[in-house]
Structure 1
Amino acid sequence: MEWWLTLLIIFAALMVLMAIGLPVAFAFLSINVVGAFLLWNGAAGLTQLTLSVMASVTHFTILPVPLFILMGEIMFRSGIAAKQMDVLDSWMGRVPGRLSLMAVGGGTMFATLTGSAMAGTAMLGKILVPDMEARGYKKPMTLGPILGSGGLAIMIPPSALGVLLAAIGNFSVGGFLMAIVIPGLLMAVLYTAYIMIRCSLQPELAPTYQTGSLALWPKIRDTLKYVFPLAAIVFLVIGLILMGVATPTESAALGTLGAFVLAALYRGLSWTIAKEALLSTLTTTVMMFMILTGSTAFSQLLAFSGASAGLLEFATSFDVAPIVVVIMMQIVLLVLGTFMEPLSIMMLTVPIYFPIIQSFGYSYLWFGAVMLLNMQMASTSPPFGLGLFVMKGVAPEGTTMGDIYRAALPFLGCDLIAMVLIMTVPELTLWLPSVMID
């Protein structure tokens, strides 16, 4: 059978299974089981499938995923993250779009403590939306900044999605976590610039208001008490990797231990909170690992059927510059992001995309950063981005999905600008990994 016909049958069956409501992980599992039986010599193929599934979830490189998720759960459930927002609020003056800028600042800080964009969006919404409504903020400056900033957890380490992308793509986890630092901060800068410019041009979107003055020493004291210890955790997670002192797994373990210690010191840790954090971590991790097992087996199925080699030959046969093919890949990801969630997109495309990128001679770290940014956009892309529905859950009463869609679009535009900059200036992703100490 021709490779393209095999590929067409696989994808058609996959789309049908997902269209009838079968969860993504089970849809891939069904395709993998049938494909392994038909293409890998019956029962022997099923045995090989079982071995590949076991290998995919017992790999050392994915161990940071549950640890990063647990660290974030402890931070949020213990109230430590909320204290950060209070400190940030004390330092903000009467700037245009004050609360919207707090969303960006808070989202950036939260991103360094958790790998979950959904948790970041929910936390920012619960803390800021009531105050924004009371101050007369309009929906573009209420919903949009929270949506965009909550998604920064995907692009700023520790990023659970980033670890999974590196594991699926089979490249350096530590190097990739360093590669996405500057792109994530670049996105925060673009959000800040957009908010300040638009609020200066349309002040009615975010009315200024009188803020209580606080003496300098109390602000410094609270910063030392609530922000500096968290900076130590950020150092444990990111700094030790950059210095070459610890692996991502070791850094994740130290960061999680630090989160438990801080939560206990701030009297925010109890058996109930620990139990809830562990159960939530377990649920999320199992979901991610099920998708990871499906992706690993799916990539092997494509390779064995000849579809990967055929698609690679097809993609490299065009008389166009390789960067044009890369741009087309990103367009496909953007379209998929309008109706699929990031993990499913990664599962579907990584086995196809990365062999092509390797043949072009591009850096996995660079392409992975561009792809991860695309995944961040997928989480806030209408009509089915998961972040949009999380935002609906914490939005003011009467907010429609149309309001959320319109608020998300300008920040998707900022993401697109960041993507163009990263694609045209690869050093934005490659510089930090190049200075890592081996």
Structure 2
Amino acid sequence: MEWYAAGGLLIGTVVCLMALGVPVAIAFMATNVIGTLFFIGSFNGLLQAVDNSTVLITSFQLVPVPMFILMGSLFFYSGLAVRVFDALDKLFGRIPGRLCFLTVAGGTTFSTLTGSSMANTAMLGSLLVPEMERRGYAKKMSIGPILGTGGLAMLIPPSTLGVLLASIAGVDVGRLLIAGIIPGLLLALLYVGMISLQVWRDPSCAPPYDLEPTPLREKLLGLVMSVLPMGVVVAMVVGFIIFGIATPTEAAAFGVLGVLILAALFRVLTFKVLFESLLSTVKVAGMVFFIIMNSNVFSQLLAFSGASSGMIGWVTGFDIPVTVVLLAMFAVLLLLGMFMDPVSMMLISVPVFFPLALTFGVDPAWFAIFMLLALEMSQTTPPFGLLLYIMLGVSPKGTTLYQVATAALPYLFCDAVLVGLILAFPMLVLWLPGFM
């Protein structure tokens, strides 16, 4: 069978099953069974597929996934997240559009401790949108910054999706996590610039309002007592990885320990908090590991059928600049984002795109960040981006999909600017990992 027919059969089966509403993990598992029987054609082939499926999920490099999920769950269920937002709210005072800037600052902080764009968007939306609406903020100012900042969790370490991508693609986990720091912070600055521009052009979209002045002593106390401890936890996790003091797994464990100590010091560490955090971690990590297990077999089937090598040989047979190839991959990921969640997109695209990028001599950590940016943009790209619907679900009644999608456009432009910058200046991604 020709490589394009084999690839079309495998990828087409997955897409069709997901289009019929079959859960992602089940769709991949069914495709693996069909593909194994078709290409190998024996019961022994199925036994081999089962044996191979456990190779990746028993890998030590996947241990950070449940650790980072637990870290974010503890941060959320203990109420430490609300303390950070309250402290930042007092710190910003009366500056125009302060709630928008609070969204970016607080959302960036929260993303470093959750690693989940969906959790980030849902929390920011439920906390801040009603307050912004009550203060007379235009919908583009109450919804847009949250949609933009929600996706930062994919880039800024510890990114759960980044760990998954590194594990599936065979990229060094620590190097990928560190590579996302500068692009993530740069994107947050672009968002701040966009908010400033919008407020400057139309001050009525974020009207000022009377606010009881907060004494400087209270501002500094909130900063030291609420924000700084979180910063220490994040710096500990990231710093341990950069300077080689600990592996990503050990750094993630230290991160969990840090949040537990903070929760205990603030007297919010209860059995209920522990139970809810552990239950959430087991549910999410179990689902993720089951998906990864099936994706591993899917990747092997693509290689066994000749689809992966055939695609690489076909593309490299043309005299095409590497930038054009990268932009074509980016466009495919944006298109897939209209129909799939980030994990599904990753599982389908990584086995094809990563070998192709490596053939062109692209640094694997840089390409992983490039892919994460594409995944982030795809989740807010109208009309089917997943974060658009999450935002719609937590917004006040009467909010339409058109309003949510329109609010997202300026921040998608910021994302596109960052894509252009890392294409033009790859060291924005590779500079920090060079110190490892």
> SS state of the match for residue 94, structure 2?
coil
Question: 1:112 — aligned with what?
Answer: 112
**Structure 1 position 404 matched with structure 2 position 401:** no
1:76-124 Cα distance to aligned partner (Å, 9 max, x none): 1111011111111111133232111110011111011111111111221
Name the residue aligned to 1:164.
Answer: 164
Match status 1:383 vs 2:367: no
Q: Which residue of 2 aligns with 1:365?
A: 365
Q: Which residue of 2 aligns with 1:275?
A: 275
Q: Is the 8 A contact 1:178 1:242 kept in 2?
A: yes
How big is the shift at 1:417? 1.0
Equivalent pairs counted in the alignment come to 436
**Structure 2 spans left out of the alignment, 5+ residues:** none
Counterpart contact for 2:159–2:177, Cα < 8 Å: yes
Is the 8 Å Cα contact of residues 341 and 378 (structure 1) preserved in structure 2?
Answer: no
Report the counterpart of residue 346 of structure 1 in structure 2: 346
Percent identity over paired residues = 48
Q: Show structure 1 runs of 5+ residues with no match.
A: none
Whichever residue aligns with residue 169 of structure 1, its letter is A
Deviation at 1:279, TM superposition (A): 1.1
Matches within 5 A, 1:126-205: 126-205=126-205
TM-score of the superposed pair, with normalisation by structure 1: 0.97
Q: Secondary structure at the match of 1:107?
A: helix
Alpha-carbon distance in 2 for matches of 1:131, 1:17:
41
Matches within 5 A, 1:12-161: 12-161=12-161
- Partner of 2:383, secondary structure, is coil
Contact 1:53 1:297 in 2 (8 A): yes
Match for residue 10 of structure 1? 10
Q: Is the 8 A contact 1:138 1:206 kept in 2?
A: yes
What SS does the corresponding residue of 1:382 show, helix, strand or coil?
coil
Q: In structure 2, what is the equivalent of residue 329 of structure 1?
A: 329
Write out per-residue CA displacement over residues 37-67 of structure 1, whole angstroms, 9 at most, x where no aligned residue: 2323512211221112111211111110111
Q: CA deviation at 1:393?
A: 2.2
Return the letter of the residue paired with 1:125.
G
2:130 and 2:34 map into 1 onto residues whose CA distance is: 51
CA drift at 1:225: 1.1
Query: Does the CA contact (< 8 Å) of 2:74 and 2:260 recur in 1?
Result: yes
Q: Which stretch shows the higher mean deviation, 219-228 or 312-321?
A: 219-228
Q: In 2, distance between residues paired with 1:16 and 1:41?
A: 22
Q: Which deviates the most, 74-83 or 116-125?
A: 116-125
Inter-partner Cα distance in structure 2 for 1:139 and 1:334: 25
Matches of 1:263 and 1:45, distance apart in 2: 50
Read off the aligned partner of 1:99 and give its amino acid letter: L
CA distance in 2, matches of 1:15, 1:124: 32
TM-score (norm 2): 0.98
1:421 equivalent in alignment to 2:421? yes
- Mapped to 2, the partners of 1:357 and 1:113 lie a distance apart of 30
Cα offsets for 1:341-367 (capped at 9, x unmatched) = 111110000000111111111100111
Q: Which amino acid in 2 is paired with 1:26?
A: I
Matching residue of 1:250: 250
User: Cα distance, 1:405 vs. partner?
Assistant: 1.1
* Equivalent-residue separation in structure 1 for 2:14 and 2:114 (angstroms): 32
Following the alignment from structure 1 to structure 2, what is the Cα–Cα distance between the partners of residues 323 and 27? 33
Q: Does the residue aligned with 2:113 lie in a helix, a strand or coil?
A: coil
SS of 1:193's partner is: helix
Q: Deviations over 1:269-295 (max 9, x none)?
A: 211121111111111112211221122
Report deviation, 1:15.
2.4
C-alpha distance in 1 between matches for 2:227 and 2:176:
26
Question: Which amino acid in structure 2 is aligned with residue 133 of structure 1?
Answer: E
In the TM superposition, residue 396 of structure 1 has moved relative to its aligned partner by 1.3
Any conservation in 2 of the 1:96–1:200 contact (CA below 8 Å)?
A: no
SS of 1:112's partner is: helix
Answer yes or no: is the 8 Å Cα contact 2:10–2:302 preserved in 1. no
Distance 1:338 1:318 in 2: 29
Deviation for aligned residue 1:126: 2.2
1:165·1:346 contact (CA, 8 Å) conserved in 2? yes
Query: How many angstroms does 1:14 deviate by?
Result: 2.2
User: How far apart are the structure 1 equivalents of 2:116 and 2:265?
Assistant: 24
1:384, distance to aligned residue in structure 2 (A) = 2.7
Shift of 1:383: 2.6
Supply the distance in 2 between the matched residues of 1:292 and 1:183 (Cα, whole angstroms). Answer: 26
Aligned residue number for residue 320 of structure 2: 320
Contact kept? 2:93, 2:214, Cα under 8 Å = no
AA in 1 matched with 2:85: M
- State the secondary structure of the residue aligned to 1:151: helix
- Mapped contact 1:124–1:146 kept (Cα < 8 A): yes
Alpha carbon RMSD of aligned pairs, Å?
1.2
CA contact (8 A) 2:165 2:346 kept: yes
Q: After superposition, what is the alpha-carbon deviation per residue over 1:377-426, rounded to whole angstroms, capped at 9, x for unaligned?
A: 12222233221222122211211122111111211111111111111110
Offset at residue 327 of structure 1 (A): 1.1
1-side partners of 2:115 and 2:363: how far apart? 24
